[in-house]
């Protein structure tokens, strides 16, 4: 069977990037079984021939209207598919979808009728929001990092910006490369519209959010940038845990050092 990626290097590159990141999620132990999901807005690399392609699925409801996504295209990890399989065979474990003209439904157009991730309402809500904001962000990732999820089981870390400030203070890179910090979303049922709505509310302040007792979700210009923010936060969580395991509370960078860093790197918060 001919793949939609054939003779389309720009589209193939976007899918390759997703596959690369899927491999890292598995290697890090953040993606047990089918855990986690990735979506990328690929509308910019869609040609007229793809726009004319018929649906290979029925028309599915999204569950919520996405007014900014009319006719948009996404590459999505498939629901119930394993991240480690997405890494090796992206077009068997993910698919290209098109949002219908009414902005409330989608169809699958290639390569296989693989139904997109169960977190599609949250992912599409984030993409819809990013277009409204005009920030040029194209990628959304959700994963289950052990360290950050463990921290979300402690109510003290769920207060506004407690975790942001703690993680920023563990190593300068985390503040520099996750400059908006990490927002907190109280526990909500996975895949629910409630979880999607709570997530987009926090995106005005953060590029990364912690879903209490579940996982982390991030958005970025591309899938590498979105992944890297979670990776630096997890690095900080590891440093914190390592110090605690050695029997002491880590000092954290001083507020003087933090202010100096903020000014030197011209950071937003
Ligand atoms: O895709 O991680 O939150 C599986 C999940 C749902
Ligand atoms: Zn999850």
pLDDT digits (tens, 9 = 90+) for 61-116: 999 999 999 999 999 999 999 999 999 999 999 999 999 999 999 999 999 999 99
Distances (CA, A) of 42 to 46, 50, 86, 151, 222: 7, 12, 17, 34, 10
CA of 15 to the centre of ligand 2 (A): 21
Residue finishing a domain among 112, 134, 156: 134
Token code pair at residue 113: 């009728």
What domain count does the chain have? Answer: 2
- Same domain for 229 and 175, yes or no, is yes
Whether the Cβ atoms of residue 208 and residue 229 lie closer than 8 Å to each other = yes
Residue finishing a domain among 92, 113, 134: 134
**pLDDT at 1 > cutoff 90:** no
Atom of ligand 1 nearest to the CA of 79: 1
Whether the Cβ atoms of residue 217 and residue 199 lie closer than 8 Å to each other = yes
Distances (CA, A) of 171 to 28, 76, 146, 234, 240: 20, 33, 19, 11, 10
Q: Strand, coil or helix: what is 78? A: strand
Does the global pTM surpass 0.85? yes
- Same domain for 112 and 41, yes or no, is yes
**Burial degree of 143 (CB within 10 A; 0-12, 13-18, 19+):** buried
- Same domain for 183 and 104, yes or no, is no
Q: Strand, coil or helix: what is 249? A: coil
Q: What is the mean pLDDT of the chain?
A: 98
In a domain, 268, yes or no: yes
In a domain, 139, yes or no: no
CA of 44 to the centre of ligand 1 (A): 27
Tell me which of 32, 33, 37 to substitute to probe ligand 1's pocket, judged by most ligand atoms within 8 Å of the beta carbon.
Answer: 37
* pLDDT at 110 (0 to 100): 98
Where b means 16+ CB within 10 Å and e means fewer, 19-42 reads bebbbbbbebebbeebbbbbbbbb
| Residues lining ligand 1, Cβ inside 6 A | 34-37, 117-119, 142, 190
Residue 69 gets which letter from DSSP? Answer: G
Whether the Cβ atoms of residue 142 and residue 149 lie closer than 8 Å to each other = no
Query: Measured between alpha carbons, how far is 264 from 260 in angstroms, rounded to an integer?
Result: 6
- Same domain for 117 and 215, yes or no, is no
In a domain, 207, yes or no: yes
Q: What is the pLDDT of residues 147-196, one digit of tens each?
A: 999 999 999 999 999 999 999 999 999 999 999 999 999 999 999 999 99
Pairing, β 208-211 against β 182-185? parallel
Token code pair at residue 7: 């003779």
In a domain, 140, yes or no: no
Beta strand spans in 84-148 (E):
94-99, 105-110, 139-143
Estimate to the nearest angstrom the gap between the alpha carbon of 36 and the chain centroid. 9
At 163, which helix (H) or strand (E)? helix 162-168
Residue 119 annotated to the active site: yes
* Domain range enclosing 48: 1-134
The residue whose CA is least distant from atom 3 of ligand 1 is: 190
Dihedral sign from CA coordinates of 185, 186, 192, 193: negative
Q: In the chain, pLDDT over 90 holds for what percent of residues? A: 99
Going by pLDDT thresholds of 50, 70 and 90, the confidence category of residue 234 is: very high
In a domain, 219, yes or no: yes
């Amino acid at each position: 069977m001919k793949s939609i990626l054939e003779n389309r290097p720009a589209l193939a590159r976007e899918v390759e990037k997703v596959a690369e990141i899927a491999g890292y999620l598995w290697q890090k132990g953040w993606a047990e079984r089918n855990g986690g999901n990735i979506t990328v807005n690929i509308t910019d690399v869609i040609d007229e021939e793809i726009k004319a392609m018929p649906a290979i699925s029925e028309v599915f409801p999204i569950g919520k209207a996405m007014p900014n996504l009319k006719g948009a295209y996404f590459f999505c990890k498939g629901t119930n598919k394993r991240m480690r399989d997405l890494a090796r065979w992206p077009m068997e474990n993910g698919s290209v979808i098109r949002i219908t003209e009414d902005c409330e439904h989608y169809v699958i157009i290639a390569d296989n009728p693989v139904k997109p991730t169960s977190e599609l309402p949250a992912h599409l809500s984030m993409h819809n929001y990013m277009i409204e904001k005009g920030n040029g962000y194209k990628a959304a990732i959700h994963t289950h990092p052990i360290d950050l999820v463990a921290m979300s089981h402690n109510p003290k870390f769920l207060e506004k910006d407690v975790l942001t400030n703690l993680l920023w203070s563990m190593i300068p890179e985390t503040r520099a490369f996750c400059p908006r910090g990490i927002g907190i979303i109280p526990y909500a049922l996975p895949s629910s519209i409630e979880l999607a709505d709570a997530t987009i509310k926090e995106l005005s302040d953060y590029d990364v959010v912690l879903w209490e007792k579940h996982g982390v979700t991030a958005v970025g210009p591309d899938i590498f940038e979105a992944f890297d923010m979670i990776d630096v936060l997890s690095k900080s969580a590891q440093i914190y845990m390592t110090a605690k395991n050695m029997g002491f509370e880590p000092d954290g960078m001083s507020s003087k050092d933090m202010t100096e860093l903020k000014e030197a790197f011209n950071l937003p918060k």
